[in-house]
Amino acid sequence: MTRRPLNYAIVDEIDSILIDEARTPLIISEAREEPTDKYLHYSKIVQTLKPCSEKKKVSKGLLYELLNEEAK
Protein backbone atom coordinates (compact mmCIF):
# COMPACT_ATOMS: atom_id res chain seq x y z
CA MET A 1 0.00 0.00 0.00
CA THR A 2 1.46 3.33 -0.99
CA ARG A 3 0.50 6.63 0.53
CA ARG A 4 -0.14 9.63 -1.60
CA PRO A 5 1.72 12.81 -0.70
CA LEU A 6 -0.04 15.29 1.54
CA ASN A 7 -1.63 18.27 -0.19
CA TYR A 8 -2.21 21.59 1.47
CA ALA A 9 -3.02 25.17 0.63
CA ILE A 10 -2.58 28.46 2.43
CA VAL A 11 -5.69 30.59 1.94
CA ASP A 12 -5.57 34.30 2.70
CA GLU A 13 -8.86 36.10 3.41
CA ILE A 14 -10.68 32.86 4.23
CA ASP A 15 -13.66 34.79 5.64
CA SER A 16 -14.22 36.31 2.21
CA ILE A 17 -14.30 32.88 0.62
CA LEU A 18 -16.44 31.16 3.25
CA ILE A 19 -18.89 33.97 4.01
CA ASP A 20 -18.88 36.84 1.51
CA GLU A 21 -18.60 34.92 -1.74
CA ALA A 22 -20.16 31.64 -0.69
CA ARG A 23 -22.96 30.29 -2.83
CA THR A 24 -24.47 28.70 0.25
CA PRO A 25 -24.07 31.00 3.26
CA LEU A 26 -22.18 29.63 6.21
CA ILE A 27 -24.58 29.31 9.12
CA ILE A 28 -22.81 30.28 12.32
CA SER A 29 -25.86 30.46 14.57
CA GLU A 30 -29.15 28.69 15.01
CA ALA A 31 -32.66 29.68 15.97
CA ARG A 32 -33.46 29.44 19.65
CA GLU A 33 -36.81 28.84 21.23
CA GLU A 34 -36.24 31.28 24.08
CA PRO A 35 -38.80 34.03 24.54
CA THR A 36 -37.73 37.40 23.18
CA ASP A 37 -39.84 39.39 25.67
CA LYS A 38 -36.83 40.65 27.60
CA TYR A 39 -35.18 41.91 24.40
CA LEU A 40 -38.34 43.78 23.40
CA HIS A 41 -38.61 45.21 26.92
CA TYR A 42 -35.05 46.54 26.93
CA SER A 43 -35.42 47.81 23.37
CA LYS A 44 -38.26 50.05 24.55
CA ILE A 45 -36.13 51.30 27.45
CA VAL A 46 -33.18 52.08 25.19
CA GLN A 47 -35.39 54.08 22.83
CA THR A 48 -36.38 56.38 25.71
CA LEU A 49 -32.78 57.17 26.65
CA LYS A 50 -31.41 60.57 25.78
CA PRO A 51 -27.78 61.34 24.94
CA CYS A 52 -25.72 62.77 27.75
CA SER A 53 -22.97 65.29 27.10
CA GLU A 54 -21.28 64.38 30.36
CA LYS A 55 -19.22 61.20 30.37
CA LYS A 56 -19.91 59.07 33.41
CA LYS A 57 -18.19 55.97 34.63
CA VAL A 58 -20.62 53.30 35.76
CA SER A 59 -19.46 50.31 37.74
CA LYS A 60 -20.79 46.86 36.93
CA GLY A 61 -22.52 46.71 40.30
CA LEU A 62 -24.36 49.98 39.74
CA LEU A 63 -25.40 48.93 36.26
CA TYR A 64 -26.73 45.65 37.69
CA GLU A 65 -28.76 47.59 40.28
CA LEU A 66 -30.16 49.94 37.63
CA LEU A 67 -31.23 47.04 35.43
CA ASN A 68 -32.86 45.25 38.37
CA GLU A 69 -34.77 48.42 39.35
CA GLU A 70 -35.95 48.88 35.76
CA ALA A 71 -37.12 45.27 35.54
CA LYS A 72 -39.43 45.67 38.57
Give the pLDDT of the chain (72 residues) as one tens digit per residue: 677 777 777 777 777 766 666 666 656 667 777 767 888 888 888 888 776 655 566 666 666 666 666 666
Gap between the Cα atoms of 18 and 13, Å rounded: 9
Gap between the Cα atoms of 25 and 3, Å rounded: 35
Domain segments of the chain as ranges = 14-69
Q: What is the pTM of this model?
A: 0.29
Per this entry, what is the length of the chain? 72
